[in-house]
Structure 1
Amino acid sequence: MSAIYKNIKPKTRLIVTVLLLLACFISLASQTMMLTALPVIQKAMHVSLNAAQWLTAGYTLLIGVITPLSSNLYEKFRNRTVFLGIITTFVLGTLLGCLAQNFLTLLLARLVQALAGGLLMSFQMTTMVSIYPPQKRGTILGLSGLVVAFGPAIGPTLSGFIMTTLGWRYLFYLVLPLMLAILILGYIFFPNFKEPQDIKIDYLSVFISLLGSSLALGSLTVFQNNLAVATTMLIGGLVILYLFVRRQLKLEQPMLKVTIFKVRSFRLMTFVGMLAFVALLGTEAMIPIYTQNVWGVSSMVSGLILLPGALCNALAAAIVGPLYDKHGPKYLIISGAILMLIASIPLVTISKDTSIWVLTIFYSFRMIGNAMVFSPAMSEAFKALQLREISHATALNNTLRQTSGAVANTVVVVLAGIPASFTVGTRLSMWVIVLAVVLMLGIFLQYLRKPA
């Protein structure tokens, strides 16, 4: 694996990079497209908001559950086989969404998409790090970070336009031909540049991981309706995950090399990236719901509110990558976190009288701050790792990030619905996001005391 980048041609490297980034962008945009659509689907399918939010929370949750498997798949099978299998699965999930006639079928379609999306993200990061020389690792991870941040950021905006002009089913109709095109191009052009390794998949670890993650994360959506059941699920899930970690430490070929967390830079900067993702998804979940349900605006308008922020995020991410390579993460992440806190003021004070322009402008600044944190945090997390550890590191990083996103998505929606006033509930949810940003900054300052 260490010699892959030495043997791969520049043209092949470009083809792989373009196909992977396009596939990841579509997958990640699809992840958040449902945010703007939730109020409409809630009414169309005659379900509660808590049930409807499973279309987004369940998607993110399953990504977190399935991602740990990605390291074993990358090592055991040819990279071409894995890529085509992932894209085929996503196409099947999207096709099911096109045909869905009830909420359960629609939810199943989203979960099949998530199954592919979780594997794709780790596969993309591991592959790109493998095919580029080490001195370009920061730039490549920065490019990956741009897609990881911009895809979810632009999703609600694209959804707003689609919902207003075409209807919610086109969230699947339009994605299907794009992913089919990537599948066809991948079949024609995606090369095999890595031979499979003779590793043994520990299926008991797979089962324990899936069971523990499902119980722990699934409990979050049950708390509001049945505290006893939710608490039992959470405790049971955490105990099972503890047993999973213990088992990984004993295996010669673990499903996940959790010992990577002993690397201080990976541990702390992964947490920083997690909390930045919490701030991103938590805010994106609430703004469309609040503006449509309380302000009474259309899906398109709620999408337009998020559009400038998505564009600012992409532009900032493109600039941040080279700045990180030259100056490191210190001033970027500190400045970004402070900007996120200042730009949160309209969110924690939001009301019917809040100007759309004020919300749009401050949200845009918040997204700039998020880009200043997210990409440098991801690059910094991987800088001290050996190349042979990358597949496990990307699986761990993506698992924790997506899990935290699922938690954020669920918590903000549930919290917003607890008070009698949805405005008060939304403010409460946004204060939780602010606390996450404060914690993120505190962890990074702790990291700076001994960076490497």
Structure 2
Amino acid sequence: MLVVSIVALMSFLGVLTETAMNTTFPTLMKNFGVSLATVQWVTSGYLLTAALVMLTSAYMKRRFTNRQLFTAAGLLFMLGDVLCATAGVFAQLLAGRIIQAGCVGLCTPLMVNIILEVVPRKKLGLYIGLANVIVLIAPALGPTFGGAVTAFASWRVIFWSTLPVAGLLMLGAGHIHQYSRPHRLAFDWLRFGLLGTALVALNLGLTAIGARQWGEAAAMLLGASVSFLWFLRRSRTSRRYLFALTVFKQPAFVFSFLPYLGLQFANVGLNFLLPNYVQDVFGATALIGGLILLPGSVFNGLGQPVYGWMLDRFGGGLPLLLGAGLFTLGDIIMAGLGPRLGVLGITLAYLLFAIGRSMAFSNSVAYGLKALPKDLQTDANALYNMGQQAIGGIGTTVLSLLMTAVHHPGWSQAQNAAAGSRLAFLLVGGLGIAIFALYCRLLKPQP
């Protein structure tokens, strides 16, 4: 746990600065004289870069030692800290954030890969849950940390304050040992470029849809499709390494990976929608809009070891099916009662949703990895992590589009927002039913 904690805390710093920066957008727009569409790339660029680095984690794990990967992650974080803290122009700040994304992109998969190497299969759920506590607390603390630092000091203190902590964690590199021999492998730059282009084009296309720029959206989505199809064609003949596509032939991976994406899609989307929902529909303040997520976020983080223990003790049926059921029930309550719930009712319904989602989310990975052959676990871990990063932005875009989709002439803004949000809740509820069905297929005994 010492080694896992050191790696997880470095990942924690990356996630903390990412979520803390979300509260600084108005200040950054004023300081650098840029628009909201430009400043949001501080987060979007970070997440895309992290997803692309995670995509290479299967190759990195086979090519380099654990200590080399951790050291590289720490140096990237510290370099990014210095660039961001001293940024005089927006381009320097964005460059620093993109460099820092390499820290999370390397450390988050490395944490799970080390667990896979040293922890017995029967305890994987518990140890992955314990590691996730450290990483998942960061999104709950980040907005409060960023808001307080910006209000009482300067947004630059976000980076100056985390720099010495990263330096202290770097001292722990000596405790990180190697459990498998690295090999020299030829990296498949073409496949990496094609898949990276597809992800970036998809993100830009969805952003264009949100701005109702239909021509640009169509061009980007077409480019994403062409790049992805070319990637698949290239994968049939390539002898260079990126990750093993044979993992998709394993039912345990497919039927845990798809629910994992669905849970992340819904979680990130509702985390964006609900604070805006209570402000538009109930006239709540921005502070109340943020606080309604707090109880669910606390259970999301602190419940992880318990949910992992449930998987190890009772098997996958209890945490996965119960989690999917609570996830769906919480969302159906929001879809069915909506404006009648009030702020407290929305908070309690989200708490139910968050408990179910977090119970199923990390256990999807743990159950899938437990069932896979040892030689495919690293490849599967790379895809779980990349998928988590890539699908979050899609969830935000889709649910925000639905929330603003209703424009009834005779209705108030609150009524239109409530009707549009109901469409989003219904979509997530249908997704929950699909996730439950996928889990039933996952838990079906294999011949």
Measured against the shorter chain, the TM-score band is 0.7 to 0.9
Alignment of 1:300-311 (within 5 A): 301-311=288-298
- Report the alpha carbon displacement of residue 195 of structure 1 after superposing the two structures with TM: 3.7
Match of 1:436 in 2: 431
Alignment of 1:6-17 (within 5 A): 14-17=1-4
Per the alignment, do residues 314 and 416 of structure 1 end up closer, same or farther by CA in structure 2, a change over 3 Å counting? same
Match of 1:365 in 2: 352
Q: Distance in 1 between matches of 2:280 and 2:87?
A: 25
Residue 207 (str. 1) matches residue 202 (str. 2): no
Residue 226 (str. 1) matches residue 213 (str. 2): yes
The partner residue of 1:377 within 364, 376, 381 is: 364
Q: Mind listing any 5+ residue stretches in structure 2 that lack a counterpart?
A: 408-412
Q: Distance in 2 between matches of 1:435 and 1:109?
A: 40
Does the 8 A contact of 2:123 with 2:312 survive in 1? no
404-413 vs 321-330, which moves further: 404-413
Per the alignment, do residues 97 and 360 of structure 1 end up closer, same or farther by CA in structure 2, a change over 3 Å counting? farther
Per the alignment, do residues 170 and 52 of structure 1 end up closer, same or farther by CA in structure 2, a change over 3 Å counting? same
Match of 2:176 in 1: 190
Please give the per-residue CA displacement for 1:102-128, whole angstroms capped at 9, x wherever unaligned. Answer: 554444333222233122221221122
Please give the per-residue CA displacement for 1:207-251, whole angstroms capped at 9, x wherever unaligned. Answer: 223223222333221223422222222222222222223323323
Alignment of 1:15-414 (within 5 A): 15-38=2-25, 41=28, 49-166=36-153, 168-186=155-173, 188-223=174-209, 224-289=211-276, 295=283, 297-299=285-287, 301-344=288-331, 347-348=334-335, 355-414=342-401
Per the alignment, do residues 293 and 157 of structure 1 end up closer, same or farther by CA in structure 2, a change over 3 Å counting? farther
Q: Distance in 2 between matches of 1:279 and 1:374?
A: 11
Q: Give the TM-score taking structure 2 as reference length.
A: 0.85
- Report the alpha carbon displacement of residue 350 of structure 1 after superposing the two structures with TM: 5.5
Does the 8 A contact of 2:255 with 2:438 survive in 1? yes
Report SS of the residue matched to 2:297: helix
- Report the alpha carbon displacement of residue 288 of structure 1 after superposing the two structures with TM: 4.1
Per the alignment, do residues 445 and 37 of structure 1 end up closer, same or farther by CA in structure 2, a change over 3 Å counting? farther
Aligned length: 436
Does the 8 A contact of 1:154 with 1:307 survive in 2? no
| One-letter identity of the residue aligned with 2:207 | T
| One-letter identity of the residue aligned with 1:208 | L
Per the alignment, do residues 290 and 100 of structure 1 end up closer, same or farther by CA in structure 2, a change over 3 Å counting? farther
Q: Distance in 2 between matches of 1:214 and 1:338?
A: 33
Does the 8 A contact of 2:126 with 2:305 survive in 1? no
| One-letter identity of the residue aligned with 1:266 | F
Per the alignment, do residues 99 and 285 of structure 1 end up closer, same or farther by CA in structure 2, a change over 3 Å counting? farther
Does the 8 A contact of 1:126 with 1:391 survive in 2? yes
- Report the alpha carbon displacement of residue 394 of structure 1 after superposing the two structures with TM: 0.9
Please give the per-residue CA displacement for 1:173-199, whole angstroms capped at 9, x wherever unaligned. Answer: 43333223222333x543455442121
Q: Distance in 2 between matches of 1:34 and 1:432?
A: 29
Per the alignment, do residues 262 and 25 of structure 1 end up closer, same or farther by CA in structure 2, a change over 3 Å counting? same
Does the 8 A contact of 1:282 with 1:433 survive in 2? no
Q: Distance in 2 between matches of 1:197 and 1:254?
A: 11
Does the 8 A contact of 1:248 with 1:254 survive in 2? no
24-33 vs 420-429, which moves further: 420-429
- Report the alpha carbon displacement of residue 142 of structure 1 after superposing the two structures with TM: 3.1
Q: Mind listing any 5+ residue stretches in structure 1 that lack a counterpart?
A: 1-13
Q: What percentage of residue pairs aligned between the two structures are identical?
A: 26
RMSD: 3.1
Q: Distance in 2 between matches of 1:190 and 1:448?
A: 35
| One-letter identity of the residue aligned with 1:297 | T
Per the alignment, do residues 164 and 436 of structure 1 end up closer, same or farther by CA in structure 2, a change over 3 Å counting? farther
Report SS of the residue matched to 1:383: helix
| One-letter identity of the residue aligned with 2:105 | G
Q: Distance in 2 between matches of 1:174 and 1:291?
A: 33
- Report the alpha carbon displacement of residue 267 of structure 1 after superposing the two structures with TM: 0.9
